[in-house]
Chain A
Amino acid sequence: MIKRADVVVVGGGVIGCSVAYYLAKKGVRVIVVEKKEGLSLGASGANQGGCPLQLFKSPVLELARESLKLYKNLAEEIECDIEYENVGSLVCSVDEKQYPDMKKHFQDKRREGINVRLIEGHQLRKLEPTLGEDIIVGVEEWDSYMVNPFKVNYGFAYAARKLGTEFLFSSQVKKIERDKERIASVITDREKIKTNFLVNAAGAWASEIGKMLGLTIPVRARRGQIMVTEPVPLNKRWRYILDADYLTTAFDLAAVEDSKEARIKLGVAGSYIQEKSGNWTIGSSRDFAGYNNRVTMQTLKYMAKRAIKFVPKLKDISCIRTFAGLRPFCYGDGLPILSKIKSPQNFVIATGHAGEGMTLAPITGKLIAELITESGTSLSIDAFSFSRFKNIN
């Protein structure tokens, strides 16, 4: 069967659905192709839904700021309660040696215009008695948010579908047909789709789509494991608590690979989030295990141990579920790739968001829609251009 679209989006994760929605809003006829049986079955469905502002550095910080602005009215816009909630964030350290780093983090964030506050350990425990004795210092801010990732992903799809977007499930891209410098059609195991543009939002699988066009997209699946606890009464002040190690393990690949510590090698640095329902999610780890998305006892052990240091009461709370997701990590430089390319001219890449896809989904969708339909984007995306990898292509 032959179908026709203005734009084919590969990937039914939060990025693909956001791109589809913002395109559909501009009247573009979109077909989303997803190899699995439903949406949100990669990284979008295996994360904690945290959108933290103080973790980002420029140039991603500018994206995050704009994305959080878009999130503000998103529920109303897409007619779906995405459970957007201002929870702030607290990055804290249990290591005396990290004190200068924390101070520097605080100063850097202040310079970037984020309203941060440095708080000593004893003061932290006064404000939030559930914090551990080992915590020496923390940095808080109140511009971070939390969303329900499934609702965001399915909400974008719901709104896109209402605007005419078609979703094809259990449909895997097998071949991309070219007509000289352009893509002419996408062939899946079920159909052929003639299209004017192809957006690669395949996340951890984006490199496989690249291969079909002879391109090396430097993105690899980085596994992240998460555990969920039973619901308990809500914390008084902070429900989004991060281990200062997060600042290095999530963003600095060399620091992880060069470390001698087993925990760091597995990328374990905590992000502890208490959902409105009272459940805690304990994340996360970061390792490369191909497309294996299973949890491992060893990693869960390090995660649980570390969690108890920061929030000791977690030790007596039951873990009811664990899972892992595969995040698209750009091993080139850790930054997302939001870009058209030279050839084929109508191929667009929107991936490499690693652990920040949920935060960056709205702005990514908006910018990619602009990239396709307008002469420029409302925010510079030069830093995320594919041309930065010309040495490998």
Chain B
Amino acid sequence: MKKKVNNTICRCEEISEQEIRDAIRKFNLRTVDAVKRLTRAGMGLCQGRTCTPLLTKIIAEETDKKVDELLPLSKRPPVRPVKVEFLAREGEQKLD
């Protein structure tokens, strides 16, 4: 049996390297998006800004691929967190 690895990969959602490797193996995951969706890694406040490179590297290792062969994480707006109230007012006031 392989040694358990407990490094925290996603700090926002507190997801460990082991959880990520387990999910990749169990669900046969091949993309950063899929890993994000199954583990929540990259779903937190920073939206994967910190953990995406680490995630990519783990997936590459698990799937015997090169990092640049993997699809990049899809970007979803907003770029940084914005208050719901701000979205409600969009267009009624200047953005600056």
Contacts and interface: CB of A to CB of B under 8 A. Distances in A.
A332 interface: no
Given A154-B38, A318-B83, A322-B76, A300 B90 contact: yes
A305 interface: yes
Contacts of B81: 230, 318-320
A318 B38 contact: no
Contact of A320 (B29, B45, B90): B45
Interface in A23-40: 37-40
Contacts of B26: 158
Interface in B19-70: 26-31, 33-34, 37-38, 40, 43-45, 47
Contacts, number: 91
B82 interface: yes
Going nearest first, the 4 A-B pairs with the smallest beta carbon separation are A318-B81, A315-B85, A304-B88, A304-B87
A323 B87 CA distance: 14
B91 A297 contact: yes
B84 A318 contact: yes
A37 B63 CA distance: 14
Interface residues of A, number: 38
Interface string A129-173: 000000000000000000000110010011001000001010000
B37 A40 contact: yes
B33 A305 contact: no
B76 A321 contact: yes
A45 B38 CA distance: 11
Interface of A: 37-40, 45, 150-151, 154, 157-158, 161, 167, 169, 227, 229-230, 277, 282, 295, 297-298, 300-301, 303-305, 307-308, 314-323
A320 B83 contact: no
Given A300-B87, A315-B83, A315-B88, 17 more contacts: A38-B29, A38-B31, A158-B27, A167-B28, A169-B30, A227-B84, A277-B40, A297-B91, A300-B90, A301-B91, A304-B88, A305-B88, A307-B88, A314-B84, A316-B85, A319-B84, A320-B45
B82 A318 contact: yes
